[in-house]
Structure 1
Amino acid sequence: MHTIYNGIPADRLPKVVWTKSSWSNPDGNCVEVAELPDGDIAVRNSRDPQGPALVYTNAEIAAFVRGAKTGDFDSLLR
């Protein structure tokens, strides 16, 4: 098995189940996430399924989701 690192091609990850938000738009502009065997979370662009996957710890994803829920990133929306 390959070592999992940040930026690994998503198609080189072990068999994972990719999930995208129900808020994704019909044009396919969405982000997909998958839980890795060690509990880390991989994130990829759905338009480039073999492209790079960013890998985050569970704590990093939890902090991001909390920030998104409380509006910390609303200033980025246009």
Structure 2
Amino acid sequence: MNGSPRTPWRTSSYSDAGGECVQIAELADDTIAIRDSKTPDAPHLHFPRTQLTTWLGTLKRS
């Protein structure tokens, strides 16, 4: 992980109740980490906040 979590991991409000969860955390190095809750020790995606906003906007248009 690039830095320690500054905030606890949060589950997306869009995740279903069946355990298919995407979680995010703000890290101490001012990036946002994204992980799959089923495999929390697997590698995480890391984004600067502005790039995450751009990436999510692209996904919404797809």
Cα distance between partner residues in 2 of 1:54 and 1:29: 17
Partner residue, 1:67? 58
**Structure 1 residue 39 displacement after superposition:** 1.1
Match of 2:31 among 21, 27, 40: 40
Cα distance between partner residues in 2 of 1:14 and 1:36: 6
Partner residue, 1:14? 4
RMSD across aligned positions (CA): 1.9
Cα distance between partner residues in 1 of 2:23 and 2:54: 18
Cα distance between partner residues in 1 of 2:14 and 2:50: 23
Identical positions, percent: 30
> What is the aligned residue count?
61
Q: Which runs of 5+ in 2 are unaligned?
A: none
Cα distance between partner residues in 2 of 1:37 and 1:14: 5
SS of 2:44 mapped into structure 1: strand
Bigger CA radius of gyration: 1
Match of 2:18 among 14, 27, 30: 27
So what's the TM-score if we normalise by structure 1? 0.64
Q: Which runs of 5+ in 1 are unaligned?
A: 5-12, 74-78
Match of 1:53 among 35, 39, 44: 44
Q: What is the identity, as a one-letter code, of the residue corresponding to 1:14?
A: S
